């Protein structure tokens, strides 16, 4: 039965990591990953996570099945993080949340649910976007197109182009938007630009699906969720996928959530019942440990403070690396202006390095970046930044 099976192409970013692992050079640097490393180049286990795990293991709970939509405490904690405590929206029960298997799992159950709701819709993702967005919505059998987003000449957003594309979309199109820290470009919309996007989405009857994978990595938990607040106040219905992979450094625990904002508590009950059918036929119900840890941190005043502090440290370290890289390139006499790297937000930067330059970085200097020129600033540290700046200065000279 498998005789004619073709070999699938390798995932481009995971393939890069395989090549990196096989490289025997001692000073190699992997800027291709989408993971936060600390200044020692290590994946952190957050103190707040460790404390919550230790408390849990002192009195280990039995592992029964969770409800289909996951733990209620967790789901409510996610809602509070996304939409703020005590807003009218939550009191009116206009938000439903289902624990999901990471941000990817949230996108997947959202995509499967939308396929049942609007089977003939087209999905629009930003050009460029996280590679898995296209693959995931195509796997859910949607046609996937792009809308204008990145402007290579300014290294920012081509906002006029984006608005024109949104205006041209047919009613009920699904628009995938990055809530903050756009992956891969690092270029985000301003608050005023979000207002205009929301106006077009309302006027054209589009369905917004906001992907929030980096809450807390741009400016902070609350400011990074401002777009959700704006959408909530607009009266629109929309979907939000969220992830704790980065903000809790819990990548392998697969902790995420899908939240859907509806028009009323009655609508919420009906939508949740349908979403539960999607989950039930997919993986039945989500795992326990990671979500229990996140819920414990978010609901304990002491652990919450500890986590917010650690999240701020991650955010500030990335920002310090952005500034240091720009300054070092300048100090090395690089003519090209790289100051856009400081304006971009989150873990990534579209550096403008060409595929050829990325090849030279890898072959000659052992520095791995994505062929599009995307680098992960969170993989820079005080030990490797000089070597990286030297190599970039050499390839752009």
Identify whether the C-beta of residue 274 lies closer than 8 Å to the C-beta of residue 53. Answer: no
- The answer to whether residue 256 forms part of the interface with ligand PMP (CB under 6 A) is yes
Stretch that binds ligand PMP, among 64-72, 102-110, 194-202, 326-334 (CB under 6 A): 102-110
Q: Give Cα separations from 288 to 64, 69, 73, 253, 295 (angstroms).
A: 9, 12, 12, 9, 11
The answer to whether residue 246 is catalytic is yes
Stretch that binds ligand PMP, among 61-69, 96-104, 187-195, 356-364 (CB under 6 A): 96-104
Q: Which of 246, 276, 307, 328 is catalytic?
A: 246
- The answer to whether residue 34 forms part of the interface with ligand PMP (CB under 6 A) is yes
Closest distance to ligand PMP from the beta carbon of 103 (Å): 3
Among 102, 216, 290, 373, which residue interacts with ligand PMP (rule: CB under 6 A)?
102
Cα distance between residue 168 and residue 9, in whole Å: 33
The answer to whether residue 330 is catalytic is no
- The answer to whether residue 290 forms part of the interface with ligand PMP (CB under 6 A) is no
- The answer to whether residue 126 forms part of the interface with ligand PMP (CB under 6 A) is no
Identify whether the C-beta of residue 261 lies closer than 8 Å to the C-beta of residue 232. Answer: yes
The contact mask relative to ligand PMP for 177-216 (x = CB under 6 A, - = no) is: -x----x---------------------------x-x---
Closest distance to ligand PMP from the beta carbon of 334 (Å): 28
Radius of gyration of the chain (CA): 21
What's the residue count for the chain? 397
Reduced to 3 states, what is the DSSP secondary structure of residue 345? Answer: coil
Rank residues 32 and 366 by Cβ distance to ligand PMP and give the closer one.
Answer: 32
In the chain, the DSSP E strands lie at: 29-30, 95-101, 123-127, 144-148, 150-151, 156-157, 174-178, 207-212, 238-243, 255-261, 348-350, 367-368, 374-376
The answer to whether residue 332 is catalytic is no
Among 30, 158, 243, 262, which residue interacts with ligand PMP (rule: CB under 6 A)?
243
Among 113, 124, 130, 194, which residue interacts with ligand PMP (rule: CB under 6 A)?
130
Structure tokens at 293: 């840890």
DSSP assignment string, 200-244: HHHHHT-EEEEEES-TTSSS-HHHHTHHHHHHHHHT--EEEEEE-
Residues in touch with ligand PMP (CB under 6 A):
34, 102-104, 130, 178, 183, 211, 213, 243, 245, 256
Catalytic residues: 130, 211, 246
């Amino acid at each position: 039965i498998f005789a004619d099976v073709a070999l699938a192409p390798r995932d481009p970013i995971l393939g890069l990591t395989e090549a990196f692992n096989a490289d025997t050079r001692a000073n190699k640097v992997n800027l291709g990953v989408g993971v936060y490393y600390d200044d020692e180049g290590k994946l952190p286990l957050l103190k707040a996570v460790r404390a919550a795990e230790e408390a849990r293991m002192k009195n280990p709970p039995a592992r029964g099945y969770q409800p289909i939509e996951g733990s209620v405490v967790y789901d409510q904690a996610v809602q509070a993080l996304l939409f703020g405590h005590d807003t009218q929206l939550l009191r009116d029960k206009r938000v439903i949340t289902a624990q999901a298997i990471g941000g990817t799992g949230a996108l997947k159950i959202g995509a499967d649910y939308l396929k049942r709701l609007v089977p003939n819709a087209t999905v629009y993702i930003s050009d460029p976007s996280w590679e898995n967005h296209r693959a995931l919505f195509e796997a859910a059998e949607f046609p996937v197109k792009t809308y204008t987003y990145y402007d290579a000449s300014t290294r920012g957003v081509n906002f006029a182009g984006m608005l024109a594309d949104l205006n041209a979309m047919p009613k009920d199109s699904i628009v995938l938007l990055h809530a903050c820290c756009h992956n891969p470009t690092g270029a985000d919309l301003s608050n005023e630009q979000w207002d205009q996007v929301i106006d077009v989405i309302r006027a054209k009857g589009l369905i917004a699906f906001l992907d929030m994978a980096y809450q807390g990595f741009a400016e902070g938990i609350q400011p990074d969720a401002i777009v959700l607040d704006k959408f909530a106040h607009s009266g629109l219905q929309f979907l939000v996928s969220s992830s704790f992979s980065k903000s809790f450094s819990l990548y392998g625990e697969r902790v995420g959530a899908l939240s859907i904002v509806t028009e009323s508590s009655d609508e919420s009950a009906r939508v949740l019942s349908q979403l539960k059918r999607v989950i039930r036929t997919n993986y039945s119900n989500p795992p326990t440990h990671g979500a229990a840890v996140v819920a414990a941190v978010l609901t304990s005043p002491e652990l919450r403070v500890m986590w917010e502090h650690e999240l701020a440290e991650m955010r500030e370290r990335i920002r310090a690396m952005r500034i240091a890289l720009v300054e070092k390139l300048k100090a090395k006499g690089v003519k090209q202006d790289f100051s856009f790297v400081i304006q971009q937000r989150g873990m990534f930067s579209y550096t403008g390095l060409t595929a050829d330059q990325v090849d030279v970085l890898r072959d000659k200097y052992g520095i791995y970046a994505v062929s599009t020129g995307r680098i992960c600033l969170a993989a820079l540290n005080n030990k490797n930044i000089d070597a990286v700046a030297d190599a970039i200065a050499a390839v752009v000279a």
